Structure 1
Amino acid sequence: MRKRSYPIPNRNYKSSIFTMLFSEKERLLELYNAVRGTDYKDPELLEINTLENAIYMAIKNDLSFVIDSRLSLYEHQSTYSPNLPLRMLLYLSDLYADMTRDENLYGMKAVKIPSPQFIIFYNGEEEQPDRQILKMSDLYEAEEDEHKLELTVLMLNINAGHNPELMNASRTLADYAAYTSRVRRYAKEQSIEEAVENAITECIREGILAEFLMKNRAEAKRMSIYEYDQAKHIRQERQEAWEEGREAGRVSLLKEQIGKKLSRGKSISEIAEDLEMEESELTRLIEELHCR
């Protein structure tokens, strides 16, 4: 059977240390073998087809490639999101559109496409199990006996102490996890710039991603600082959203209590005393109640 060739876009843009590392075919094949339990030897079997610009909201995935008529989409995440299956569907749609752009999708001949698999490599600070399956059907609003469109994503925890078999099978992945762990540990006591610099120096000295870090030191440092700051920003946004939600719940409960006390004929001064509030604040909440 003739090997099918898929469009390969310009891949000068690399958004993270993970993407930089595994954009090299030798390392990517090592990772694929570790995940799938295969033993492919020739890196040229891989056809990397990561899209730089997706159609929907400029969403990008980290790595996608075809080997043995299978399409793998790999994503690195430092934050958990239940929406990952939907994001993967959007990536996949763009990839299939790109792969079949010269095909006659209205013709009588079946257009063959590679079967997909979706893997998330998670190394965030929130506790997650070694392996978990995320399903797009969990996002559907309506319950069905059988969902007509399902997409499952395997999320693998690559933090220290997790998935030892996977780490043993991919030295590059284990080294990447060790490097990011050191950056995170040092950043608790140092500025992120100092933490990254010290982690890089130490890893080179100990042979952890040594060749990669020596060759790409400046870019690796810049990306590590950006990734750390981005993850920190996301965590802060989540914390703020949680606090806002908690405050909204507190105010809603307070308004419910005020409404009940008003219905019982209590005065503003009595209610303010009962709830230990300033009368001006109580009056404002009563006005909001009447405006609903």
Structure 2
Amino acid sequence: MYTVKDKSYKLELEATMLNINGAHNRKLKEACRTLKEYAIYTDKIRKYAEKMSLEDAVERAICECIEEGILEEFLKKHRAEAKAMSIFEYDQEKHLRMEREEAWEEGRREGEENTKRIFKLSLMGKTSKEIAEVCGIPEEKVKQILE
């Protein structure tokens, strides 16, 4: 915790996200056994979730991991919590992925609409500078689209 008397100070945080799914970041996973085992566990959940309900997929992954000695002690001791958290995290990941896909699709549609608008304004005799002002984009972008 910290206290700041002068409210003009701000804290900036930069985080690096690393993908530990599948074959990504092998060196990192080899350096940390628990991280490697967690990646195996989550990969199993993803694989099984394609063929069965998420709850069944998590249960199967937990059973297999315990049998294979992957996160064995933790999963035996905290099975219920691990199951609940895995279902929550997987649902959250799926939700975020769907939101990203929807945002991408919305951006694509907006891009198409802007392109149509640019062509329509051009056909009406507007200059690239006028179109740029109306659309709120750089004139170079308008010229690029019209080429």
Give TM-score, length-normalised by structure 1: 0.37
Alignment of 1:144-183 (within 5 A): 153-183=15-45
Question: Post-superposition shift, 1:237?
Answer: 0.7
CA separation of 1:212/1:257 partners in 2, compared to 1, >3 Å: closer, same or farther? same
The code of the aligned residue for 2:69 comes to G
Provide the C-alpha distance between the structure 2 equivalents of 1:186 and 1:169, rounded to a whole number of angstroms: 27
2: CA distance between counterparts of 1:162 and 1:195? 22
Residue 21 of structure 2 aligns with an amino acid whose one-letter code is N
Structure with greater contact order relative to length (CA < 8 Å, sep ≥ 6): 1
Q: Which residue of 2 aligns with 1:187?
A: 49
- Partner Cα separation in structure 2 for residue 242 and residue 204 of structure 1: 39
Quote the sequence identity (%): 54
Q: Rate the CA distance shift 1:156–1:237 in 2: closer, same or farther, 3 A.
A: closer
Q: Pick from 228, 241, 246 the counterpart of residue 108 of structure 2.
A: 246
Q: Which has the higher helix share?
A: 2
Helix, strand or coil: the match of 1:157? Answer: coil
Give the superposition deviation at 1:194. Answer: 1.3
Residue type at the aligned position of 1:198: R
Please give the residue correspondences for 1:100-249 in structure 2 after superposition, counting only pairs within 5 Å: 153-249=15-111
Relative to the length of structure 2, the TM-score reads 0.70
Gap change, CA 1:236 and 1:154, over 3 Å in 2:
closer
Distance 1:181 1:256 in 2: 46
Number of residue equivalences: 121
1:259 maps to amino acid: L
Q: Which has the higher strand share?
A: 1
In the TM superposition, residue 210 of structure 1 has moved relative to its aligned partner by 1.2
Q: Which residues of structure 2 form unaligned runs of 5+? A: 6-10, 127-133, 135-147
